[in-house]
Amino acid sequence: MGIHSHANLFAPPTTSADGRRNLVGMSKEMLAREMAALGEKPFRAKQLWRWIYKNGVTEFAAMTDLAKPLRDTLDKAYVIERPTIAHAQESADGTRKWLLRLADGHEVETVHIPEDDRGALCVSSQVGCTLTCRFCHTGTQRLVRNLEPAEIIGQAMLARDQLGEWALPHEDRLFTNIVMMGMGEPLYNYENVAAALKIVMDGEGFSLSRRRITLSTSGVVPMMQRCGEELNVNLAVSLHAVTDELRDELVPLNRKYPLAMLLDACRSYPGANNARRITFEYVMLKGVNDSDADARALVRLLRDIPAKVNLIPFNPWPGSGYETSSKRRIDAFGAIVMDAGYSSPVRTPRGRDIAAACGQLKSESQRLPARERLAVA
């Protein structure tokens, strides 16, 4: 535990197999510097930016407002690359999961969850996770490294490709939101996540508003303030327990940043107000954290915080040792929270049949042998 957000574990190449560099993931400023080095005027960088992030093109040949010699020069030096799809699955409920292979062979998962007239993309921030929340499958994965900005924004670009939405008007799209709730702890890879989200939010490119982005953290207190100041995205906090004793066990990071500290950081999260509440995620574990007394204690903890509560039925995985609370229990718990004035929707599990639901993500190639898995659980 405790890998710092700057740790760069096994940094992968940002170049393609043939040595050309990937333009995806470069900030606007970096792209401008690249163009300046080629002797091009600053507006060329702007044109490129729009082709890459607004139109989603992957070939320089398609950039019709650039002169042919420049397109050739660019093609010799650069690529516009996404991670490759190792495996794609679609759930009976329309949820899609892509297992992505990265340049160094590591794998991560991205999930698209469509609704009637919108939809969220659940994006990963790390290969695996260094934290070991007891109920989370990702936490049992051994191999961990931070994703590069290109690998994070690449997930969003690949989803746009797969959904065929680049040319659609915004109101017709089914990928309208991003939730940083895939594999990994985003605030342990803050720099790269921030770089990717700044690209996503840029109005001349991918153009997703910060109001449509939610970052979920298990409670990396020292990074929360900065995240709010610099990115100002919606915050979700994985609470899951109302006493330090239980949270120490379920979310071991609590031993470092206990509840009082975490809730203080929430109280001072920049941009949190009654119009823009912090979401508290609470996984419902049968007989563990789901009593009426827990619900009442939760309400007391959240006093003075502009909060809403998201109740997540536990999604089982082999060897987890936990069960999902009954629907009746979840409803009773939710009613107490709601009576206290907090909205408390129950998150409908999506894509369970393809193991795409919260906490089920884990790359195939890195599953532990059953014996070790039991030891971890």
Shortest distance (Å) from residue 262 CB to ligand SF4: 13
Q: Site for ligand SAH (CB under 6 A): which residue of 136, 156, 178, 309?
A: 136
218: contact with ligand SAH by CB under 6 A: yes
C-alpha 190/C-alpha 230 separation (Å) is: 11
Of 128-187, binders to ligand SF4 (CB under 6 A) are 129, 131-133, 136, 138-139, 184-185
109 is annotated as an active-site residue: yes
Partner whose binding site includes residue 265, from ligand SF4, ligand SAH, none (CB under 5 to 8 Å by kind): none
- In the block, residue with structure tokens 């509560």: 309
115 is annotated as an active-site residue: no
135: contact with ligand SAH by CB under 6 A: yes
User: Computed from CA positions of residues 24, 27, 32, 36, in that sequence, does the dihedral angle turn out positive or negative?
Assistant: negative
- Per-residue string for binding with ligand SF4, 79-108, x by CB under 6 A? ------------------------------
Partner whose binding site includes residue 314, from ligand SAH, ligand SF4, none (CB under 5 to 8 Å by kind): ligand SAH
C-alpha 356/C-alpha 175 separation (Å) is: 16
C-alpha 24/C-alpha 290 separation (Å) is: 44
Partner whose binding site includes residue 114, from ligand SAH, ligand SF4, none (CB under 5 to 8 Å by kind): none
**203 conformational bin, left if phi > 0, alpha if psi -120 to 50, beta if neither:** alpha
Shortest distance (Å) from residue 253 CB to ligand SAH: 9
By C-alpha distance, which of 81, 45, 180, 171 is closest to 121? 180
By C-alpha distance, which of 193, 111, 180 is closest to 147? 193
Partner whose binding site includes residue 176, from ligand SAH, ligand SF4, none (CB under 5 to 8 Å by kind): none
DSSP state of 101: E
Kindly indicate which of the ranges 95-103, 111-119, 131-139, 294-302 contains the residues binding ligand SAH, using the contact rule CB under 6 A.
131-139
User: Computed from CA positions of residues 152, 130, 268, 302, in that sequence, does the dihedral angle turn out positive or negative?
Assistant: positive
Shortest distance (Å) from residue 213 CB to ligand SF4: 17
217: contact with ligand SAH by CB under 6 A: yes
Read off φ and ψ for residue 109, nearest 5 degrees: -120, 145
Query: E strand or H helix at 312, and its extent?
Result: strand 307-313
Closest to ligand SF4 by CB, 240 or 350: 240
Amino acid at 46: K
Number of residues engaging ligand SF4 in binding (CB under 6 A): 11
Catalytic residue among 109, 148, 165, 185: 109
239: contact with ligand SF4 by CB under 6 A: no
Catalytic residue among 136, 227, 266, 358: 358
262: contact with ligand SAH by CB under 6 A: no
Shortest distance (Å) from residue 24 CB to ligand SAH: 23
C-alpha 297/C-alpha 336 separation (Å) is: 10
C-alpha 362/C-alpha 140 separation (Å) is: 8
Of 46-75, binders to ligand SAH (CB under 6 A) are none
Q: Which residues pair with 97 in a beta bridge?
A: 89, 111
C-alpha 334/C-alpha 339 separation (Å) is: 9
**Residues designated catalytic:** 109, 358
> Given the rule CB under 6 A, which residues bind ligand SAH?
133, 135-136, 181, 185, 216-218, 238, 281, 283, 312, 314-315, 358-359
